[in-house]
Amino acid sequence: YYEHLGCFLDSENRTVPYEKIYSDYMTITRCSKYCCSMSNYTYIGTEVGWECYCGNESSLFIPMPQTDCIHGCFGNQEEKCGGYWRLSIYKIDCPNDDPSPTTTHIPVTRKPVPTLDEVLDDIAKIQKEISVNRKETTAYKNTKVSAKDDRMSSKSIGIVGILVVLLPFIILFLLDIVTWVSPGARAKNVTR
């Protein structure tokens, strides 16, 4: 809970002198919660849209025109968070956080502790249920397949590689044919 008291002068000595926080998400509620979390302060003051101060003393409050406190809070532009050296001051009522003592009954059910054999049986069942056939995994299947590459450069490299491997065999084959077909070479072969 908070109540707007108005626009007041601030100074280097701070009109609301305790605890301070700066936030790009400042709202009156955020400032109020912060001051209540630090101590049970009575007043909060917001300044230039993102500053928050806490205090308990109202004797330093010097009223200023409400038009001096025109900055919207950075976290909610609908709320007014002071101005330059001007505080929008609110009286706050911090909630009492002392919880009343309560008793909670938790029902308890007793279950016998399993034997070692029962635990081992349960482990075996779980292992059987979660076993994985490694040959069915994509990691295994991917080791058995070459990656297809349709780029022109890879096709050219493949063709050149085949030609380089086959070229010596082709040359030897052609030499044998030339030797067999040429008439002088055949006569030499016959006389031997």
Q: 49: alpha, beta or left, given left = phi > 0 and alpha = psi -120 to 50?
A: left
**What's the sign of the alpha-carbon dihedral 9, 14, 18, 19?**
positive
In a domain, 105, yes or no: no
**Are residue 13 and residue 88 in the same domain, yes or no?**
yes
pLDDT of 185 reads 53
* Residue 129 within a domain: no
Asked if residue 33 is part of any domain, the answer here is: yes
- Domain presence at residue 185: yes
Q: Residue 134: what pLDDT?
A: 75
Residue 147 confidence (pLDDT): 65
- Of 59, 92, 125, which residue is a domain's last? 92
Q: What does the alpha-carbon distance between residue 161 and residue 154 come to, in Å, rounded to a whole number?
A: 10
Residue whose entry in the numeric block shows the structure tokens 């630090």? 38
- What is the Cα–Cα distance from 11 to 87, expressed in whole angstroms? 10
CATH at residue 19: 3.50.4
3-state secondary structure of 116: helix
Residue 10: closest CA among 94, 81, 79, 91: 81
Name the 3-class secondary structure at 84.
Answer: coil
For residue 65, give the H/E element and its range: none
**R_g (Cα) of the chain, nearest Å:** 45
Give the end of a domain, one of 92, 112, 131. 92
Structural domain span for residue 74: 2-92
Q: What distance in Å separates the CA atoms of residue 82 and residue 71, rounded to the nearest whole number?
A: 6
Is 126 inside a domain boundary?
A: no
Conformational region of residue 94, where left means phi above 0, alpha means psi within -120 to 50, and beta covers everything else? beta
Q: What is the count of structural domains for the chain?
A: 2
Domain co-membership, 82 together with 9: yes
Q: Domain for residue 136, yes or no?
A: no
Q: Are residues 81 and 157 in the same domain?
A: no
Bridge partners of 63, per DSSP, are 8
In one-letter notation, the amino acid at residue 87 is: L
Q: Report the candidate in 129, 61, 65 with the shortest Cα–Cα distance to residue 90.
A: 61
Structural domain includes residue 97:
no
- Asked if residue 84 is part of any domain, the answer here is yes
Residues in the chain where the model's pLDDT stays below 70: 97-111, 142-147, 183-192
pLDDT in tens, 94-137: 887 655 555 555 565 566 777 888 888 888 888 877 777 777 77
* Residue where one domain finishes, among candidates 92, 112, 140: 92
- Report CA 9 to chain centroid distance, whole Å: 43
Q: Dihedral sign, CA of 64, 68, 71, 72?
A: positive
Q: What is the pLDDT at residue 95?
A: 82
